[in-house]
Chains A and B, each alone.
Chain A
Amino acid sequence: MVAHGTIAFDTLTTSDQVNTGTEKSLDTSYIFNGVLKAWLNLDGTGTIGISDSFNTASVTDNGTGSYAKTLSNAMSNSLYATGGGHNANSSFDANGRVLPSSTTSVVMYAQANGASVDASIVTALVSGDLA
């Protein structure tokens, strides 16, 4: 069905003649379920600033190298997956953690050489099921 610029379909199918010649099908809901649900690129130095983002309502500066990001569209539960990193101190001891805190909140920590640090690039990715 094509109407008002919207194409509605339940399944994507390809003959894949170029590569394998084997037809492949994909339920479109799989695509939605698999895409990132939120992301953030943050400057954690000075007065912290959100460089760009999606599905982010606010960022809280909790102290040196410690931040929290909240979501506009909550996740279904807190068992979602997160990822991210930071650019402070390019040594092998640099360590960043991004973890679910609640269905609407993610915490982010930037560390280097065993200590919390402020980084000019802190990123967070959120993947999972939306509420």
Chain B
Amino acid sequence: MIETPEFQGTHLWERLCWAKEKLEPYRSEYCVVWEDPNDMENPAKVTHPDPNWMACALQGGILPPVQSYWELKKDENKPDFVKHTRGPELLHNMKPIDAMTEEEAIEYLIMKDIPEHVWRDWDKSNKPKMVICKKDQLPGTREWRNAWQISEDLVINNEVAA
């Protein structure tokens, strides 16, 4: 396995350039199906990890901690926000996170790219608001795509929804 250079202090975009050139994309068979309780008129959404991003996550030493994105989001939501000023502090100079397993990478991505009100209380209503599943568990055609919903009959145990 190729060794990741010491990237703390290197611009994240430059790290992504390195990864694009050096790492093989990793196509995960997992995706995340989720429903936004604030947007129930629309169908369930399905989030897929990017293969190049997955390669960075599995490699380690490239991506910033997910908390960096939460801080950026907080800054962006401030009424007087003009532009990010903490990019160097949060993305480029922050110690990159170590290699993740595929499962950890999916969890990171959920906390980065899916609204917090969805993943924080994903199992606190009549049916789950979010499910990690394999792509082959999705409907085979998109004919009724705009009617997709998470089934109310879904059984949840402590670790998985199946």
A→B interface (CB under 8 Å): 37, 45-50, 52-64, 70, 72-78, 102-105, 118, 129-131
Q: When chains A and B are docked, how far (Å) is the Cα of A50 from the Cα of B138?
A: 16
Q: Which residues in B have their C-beta under 8 angstroms from that of A54?
A: 16, 20, 52
Q: Could you tell me the distance in whole angstroms from the C-beta of B111 to the nearest C-beta in chain A?
A: 12
Do B42 and A63 touch (CB < 8 A)?
A: yes
Residues of B within 8 A of A118 (CB): 142, 145
- The distance in angstroms between the C-alpha atoms of A8 and B88, with both chains bound, is 20
| Interface CB pairs A-B, < 8 A, 28 | A46-B141, A49-B48, A50-B50, A53-B51, A54-B16, A54-B20, A56-B50, A56-B53, A57-B53, A58-B112, A59-B48, A60-B45, A61-B45, A61-B46, A62-B42, A63-B45, A63-B145, A72-B12, A72-B16, A72-B56, A102-B73, A102-B76, A103-B72, A104-B69, A130-B11, A131-B84, A131-B87, A131-B91
Check if B47 is an interface residue, CB within 8 A of chain A: yes
- Cβ of B50 and Cβ of A74 under 8 Å apart? no
The interface residues of chain B lying within 8 Å CB-to-CB of A56 are 50, 52-53
Size bin of chain B's contact surface: 35 or more
Contact A77 B83 (CB under 8 A): yes
Which residues of B approach A to under 8 Å, CB–CB?
11-13, 16, 20, 25, 31, 42-43, 45-53, 56, 63, 69, 72-73, 76, 81-84, 86-87, 90-91, 109, 112-113, 135-136, 138, 140-142, 145-146, 148
The verdict on A72 contacting B53 (CB below 8 Å), with A48-B48, A64-B142 known, is yes
Q: Could you say which of B48, B52, B138, B140 contacts A60, with CB atoms under 8 Å apart?
A: B48
Shortest distance between the CB of B114 and any CB in chain A (Å) = 8
Q: A57-B53, A59-B47, A102-B76 are in contact. Are A73 and B91 (CB under 8 A)?
A: yes
B86 / chain A contacts, CB cutoff of 8 Å: 131
> B112–A57 contact, CB under 8 A?
yes
Q: How far is the CA of A78 from the CA of B83 in the complex (A)?
A: 8
Contact B87 A58 (CB under 8 A): no
Residue on A nearest B63 in the bound complex, by CB: A72
Inter-subunit contact B53/A58 (CB<8 Å): yes
